[in-house]
């Protein structure tokens, strides 16, 4: 599971470079997130625009990443594709995460 | 808006694979390939992917929990006016109490540190699938369900 991380003053952006976070990739995703956010600032923006499929294991892995960052740091999501958004909506997890339609919208909000 | 043209009938699709970490991916490649003639919309394909992925992940995790003893997983699929009818069966351990889990929604109105990281799978299956039944027959688990996708236009 490859992710890329870019850090600015107040936030960092972690972009998932794979097209799915499923059961086979969930553990790798969690490890990659831990590694990429080890010294992250208070806000981590998870850029999911390349991800076109997550299953319940992938959802669980994203929740685990948020729990790992809390309470000092927040995880927000950006660029959800329709299939990813559907899983968040069905499980009501869209009410738990801050979600931005695009990465640009998230950057604008946090650069403020 | 539904497509007005009548669709080509789908020939029944049958898939057999072995359990393992990539079982769901393998099955989905074969199944979605077999369904191309239905020209499902993106949202319908998403429903098929999610339900099949969750069912197969459950089988890999619970019916064949020991990776040293994998087993077969079979999927049969046919198309009717009310959607796709799927049967999925394996030769692994039975479901607890010989019943498919209820898949109740997870409690998520709680502090971040207490949020659930699992238990969404059966909720998604129950939410997206219709007419789900589970049977333990001899040494087999068999789940049948319907997905309301690729519906015939009412004309």
Interface A-B, measured as beta-carbon pairs within 8 A, has a size of: 85
**pTM of the predicted structure, to 2 decimals:** 0.92
Q: What pLDDT sits at residue B152?
A: 78
Percent of all residues in chain A with a pLDDT value above 70, rounded to a whole number: 100
Q: What residues are paired with B74 via a beta bridge? A: B16, B89
Which chain B residues touch A53 with a CB distance below 8 Å? 46, 49, 53
Domain extent for A36: 3-111
A27 has a chain B CB within 8 A of its CB: no
Q: What is the helix (H) or strand (E) element at residue A111, kind and residue range? A: helix A103-111
Q: How many structural domains are present in chain A?
A: 1
- pLDDT, tens digit only, all 112 positions of chain A: 889 999 988 999 999 999 999 999 999 999 999 999 999 999 999 999 999 999 999 999 999 999 999 999 999 999 999 999 999 999 999 999 999 999 999 999 998 7
CATH number at residue A12: 3.30.750.24
Looking at domain B13-147, its CATH class is alpha beta
Residue B77 to residues B10, B99, B129: CA-CA distances in angstroms? 9, 22, 14
Q: pLDDT per residue over B50-95, tens digit each?
A: 999 999 999 999 999 999 999 999 999 999 999 999 999 999 999 9
How far apart CA A18 and CA B96 sit, in angstroms, is 35
Residue B121 to residues A80, B38, B65: CA-CA distances in angstroms? 20, 26, 17
CA distance, residue A64 to nearest chain B CA (Å)? 6
How far apart CA A13 and CA A75 sit, in angstroms, is 10
Which among B68, B86, B56, B117 is positioned nearest to A29, based on CA atoms? B117
Q: What pLDDT sits at residue A112?
A: 77
CA distance, residue A36 to nearest chain B CA (Å)? 20
Concatenated DSSP letters of A37-65:
TTT--SEEEEE-TT--EE-HHHHHHHHHH
């Amino acid at each position: 599971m490859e992710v890329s991380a870019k850090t600015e003053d107040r936030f960092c952006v972690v972009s998932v470079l794979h097209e799915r976070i499923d059961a086979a990739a969930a553990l790798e995703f969690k490890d990659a997130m831990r590694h990429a956010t080890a010294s992250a600032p208070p806000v981590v923006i998870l850029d999911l625009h390349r991800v076109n499929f997550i299953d319940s294991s992938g959802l669980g892995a994203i929740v685990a990443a948020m729990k790992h960052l809390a309470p000092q740091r927040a995880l927000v999501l950006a660029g959800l594709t329709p299939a990813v958004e559907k899983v968040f909506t069905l499980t009501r997890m869209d009410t738990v995460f801050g979600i931005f339609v695009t990465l640009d919208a998230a950057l604008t909000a946090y650069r403020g | 808006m539904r497509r007005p043209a009548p669709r080509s009938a789908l020939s029944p699709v049958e898939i057999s694979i072995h359990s393992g970490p990539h079982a769901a991916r393998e099955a989905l490649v074969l199944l979605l390939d077999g369904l191309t003639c239905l020209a499902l919309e993106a949202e319908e394909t998403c429903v098929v992917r999610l339900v099949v992925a969750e069912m197969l992940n459950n089988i890999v995790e619970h019916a064949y929990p020991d990776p040293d003893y994998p087993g077969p997983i079979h999927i049969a699929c046919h198309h009717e006016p009310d959607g796709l009818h799927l049967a999925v069966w394996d030769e692994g351990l039975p479901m607890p109490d010989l019943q498919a889990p209820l898949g109740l929604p997870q409690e998520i109105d709680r502090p971040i540190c207490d949020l659930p990281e699992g238990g969404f799978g059966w909720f998604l299956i129950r939410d997206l699938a219709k007419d789900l039944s589970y049977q333990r027959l001899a040494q087999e688990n068999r789940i049948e369900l319907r997905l309301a996708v690729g519906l015939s236009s009412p004309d």
